């Protein structure tokens, strides 16, 4: 399965690269916004052009392999630079890109700046890309591993240093754990993934974890840049462990994903268990600025729920764009909604559905 994902990902990436060159050659008859070349499910404007986005590397595979190629079928081009959530937010606030991809919402002190950038209009957070976070590891002979949240926190704090530590062995009866050093790998860049992973540890592991923010503590282990960087480093390092979006873990044969015990027994990372958790998600505030209450989500302990999920946002202006940019942004958001399907799931993401998707549809339709 992993090798198939690698082949399909490489092919799709090649297709995406070619669309960057050929998108301008598309004619009006291709203005469909649907990855199958058919009619879009939404009322898309008859415009074309280049849309610039920047931010979360957690979205990179979705942008390059699913949403970008689909957007090209409408005669438009997506230029998305996966530099990390922090950089994406900065570029959006500075009016250098049309939207930011971010694993974390804007901070309170950034909201006013965003409104100025949007011509006095509110910036909205649209959680379009749902990426479960895996605790991924590389350990020869151990294909299945159970870890509870307190143990995970202690590993990343450096308090548990060996794979055969009694705390790990207790959750893995019958598994032969080697006397191997645990090599922690973390995101060295400012990252929404780091921000959310720390929020999760703080909400789920009791008093064990106290740190927070987009910068991961650098006192334990080694850092690597971006989701690709941490996944590659763990794949190349025996005994290594990291936190990374599941799609990046699935692409690498050397990596396995731990089953996490959130409080009601070990839970496998799969679409069903993630959707079980998403069904309980609540939004902060009112209107179409759809910021998920991540603290409540991460504290979930129900059986069969995997709440360690990045509800990754597209941060857009609700109004205030110049020229055709507003229509291009809206068309791309519709394209993302049109392609919440199996192709997206193959990249390691969870297609949105139900009431969650309905709220997104209402918000995108309200963009001006």
Per the document, the length of the chain is: 368
The per-residue pLDDT for 8 is: 38
In angstroms, the CA 222 to CA 240 distance is: 10
In angstroms, the CA 96 to CA 117 distance is: 10
Regarding whether 149 and 23 lie in a shared domain, the answer is no
φ/ψ (deg, to 5) at 255: -100, 140
Q: H or E segment at 10? A: helix 2-22
Query: Among 171-180, 228-237, 264-273, which is the least confidently predicted range?
Result: 264-273
Helical spans, DSSP H, in 97-221: 108-117, 149-157, 166-170, 192-204
Among candidates 131, 132, 127, 88, which has minimal Cα distance to 314?
A: 127
Q: Is residue 297 part of a domain?
A: no
The residue with tokens 């994406």 is: 88
Q: Is residue 302 part of a domain?
A: no
Average pLDDT value for the chain = 88
Regarding whether 172 and 125 lie in a shared domain, the answer is no
Regarding whether 200 and 139 lie in a shared domain, the answer is yes
Q: Is residue 300 part of a domain?
A: no
The per-residue pLDDT for 15 is: 37
The per-residue pLDDT for 19 is: 35
Regarding whether 99 and 11 lie in a shared domain, the answer is yes
Indicate the pLDDT class of residue 177, thresholds 50, 70 and 90. Answer: very high
- Per-residue pLDDT tens for 187-237? 999 888 898 999 999 999 989 999 988 899 999 999 999 889 999 999 999
Among candidates 193, 258, 178, 179, which has minimal Cα distance to 223?
A: 193
Indicate the pLDDT class of residue 298, thresholds 50, 70 and 90. Answer: very high
Regarding whether 270 and 173 lie in a shared domain, the answer is yes
Task: Please state, as a whole number, how many other Cβ atoms lie within 10 Å of the Cβ of residue 305.
Answer: 23
Q: Is residue 304 part of a domain?
A: no
Q: Is residue 305 part of a domain?
A: no
Regarding whether 166 and 146 lie in a shared domain, the answer is yes
In angstroms, the CA 161 to CA 221 distance is: 10
The per-residue pLDDT for 11 is: 39
**Is the CB of residue 255 less than 8 Å from the CB of residue 137?**
yes
Percent of the chain with pLDDT over 90: 72
Regarding whether 271 and 144 lie in a shared domain, the answer is yes
Regarding whether 245 and 137 lie in a shared domain, the answer is yes
Regarding whether 250 and 142 lie in a shared domain, the answer is yes
Task: Please state, as a whole number, how many other Cβ atoms lie within 10 Å of the Cβ of residue 265.
Answer: 12
Query: What average pLDDT does this structure show over 16-20?
Result: 36
Per the structure, how many domains does the chain have? Answer: 2
Q: Is residue 306 part of a domain?
A: no
Regarding whether 153 and 111 lie in a shared domain, the answer is no
Query: Among 10-24, 115-129, 159-173, which is the least confidently predicted range?
Result: 10-24
Reply yes or no on whether the pLDDT at 113 is more than 90. yes
Of residues 64 and 356, the one with the higher pLDDT is 64
The residue with tokens 């058919």 is: 38
Percent of the chain with pLDDT over 70: 89
In angstroms, the CA 208 to CA 204 distance is: 9
Q: CATH code at 70?
A: 3.40.190.10
> Tokens representing 363?
């918000």
- Per-residue pLDDT tens for 231-257? 999 999 999 999 999 989 999 999 999
Reply yes or no on whether the pLDDT at 280 is more than 70. yes
Regarding whether 41 and 10 lie in a shared domain, the answer is yes
Regarding whether 146 and 121 lie in a shared domain, the answer is no
Q: Is residue 299 part of a domain?
A: no
**Is the CB of residue 49 less than 8 Å from the CB of residue 76?**
yes
Residue 83 lies in domain: 2-131+286-292+312-365
């Amino acid at each position: 399965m992993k090798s198939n994902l690698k082949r399909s990902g490489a092919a799709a990436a090649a297709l995406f690269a070619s669309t960057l060159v050929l998108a301008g050659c598309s004619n009006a008859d291709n203005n469909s916004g649907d990855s199958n070349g058919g009619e879009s499910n939404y009322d898309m404007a008859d415009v074309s052009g280049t849309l610039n986005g920047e931010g979360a590397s957690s979205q990179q595979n979705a942008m390059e392999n699913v949403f970008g190629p689909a957007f090209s079928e409408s005669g438009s081009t997506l230029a998305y630079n996966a530099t990390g959530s922090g950089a994406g937010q900065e570029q959006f606030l500075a009016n250098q890109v049309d939207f930011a991809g971010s694993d974390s919402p804007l901070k309170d002190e950034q909201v006013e700046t965003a409104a100025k950038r949007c011509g006095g209009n509110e910036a909205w957070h649209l959680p379009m890309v749902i990426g479960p976070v895996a605790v991924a590891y590389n350990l020869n002979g151990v294909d299945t591993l159970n870890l509870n949240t307190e143990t995970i926190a202690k590993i990343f704090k450096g308090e548990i240093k060996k794979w055969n530590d009694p705390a790990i062995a207790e959750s893995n009866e019958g598994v032969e754990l080697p006397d191997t050093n645990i090599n922690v790998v973390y995101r060295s860049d400012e990252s929404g993934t780091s921000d959310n992973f720390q929020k999760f540890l703080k909400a789920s592991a009791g008093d064990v974890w106290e740190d927070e923010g987009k910068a991961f503590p650098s006192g334990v282990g080694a850092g690597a840049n971006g989701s690709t960087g941490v996944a590659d480093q763990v794949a190349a390092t025996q005994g290594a462990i990291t936190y990374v979006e599941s799609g990046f873990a699935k692409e690498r044969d050397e990596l396995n994903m731990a089953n996490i015990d959130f409080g009601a027994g070990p839970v496998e990372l799969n679409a069903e268990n993630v959707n079980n958790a998403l069904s309980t998600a609540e939004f902060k505030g009112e209107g179409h600025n759809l910021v998920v209450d991540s603290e409540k989500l991460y504290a979930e302990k129900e059986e069969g729920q995997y709440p360690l999920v990045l509800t990754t946002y597209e941060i857009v202006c609700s109004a205030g764009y110049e020229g055709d940019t507003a229509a291009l942004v809206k068309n791309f958001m519709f394209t993302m909604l049109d392609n919440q399907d199996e192709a997206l799931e193959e990249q390691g993401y969870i297609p949105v559905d139900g009431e969650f998707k309905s709220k997104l549809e209402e918000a995108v339709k309200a963009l001006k």
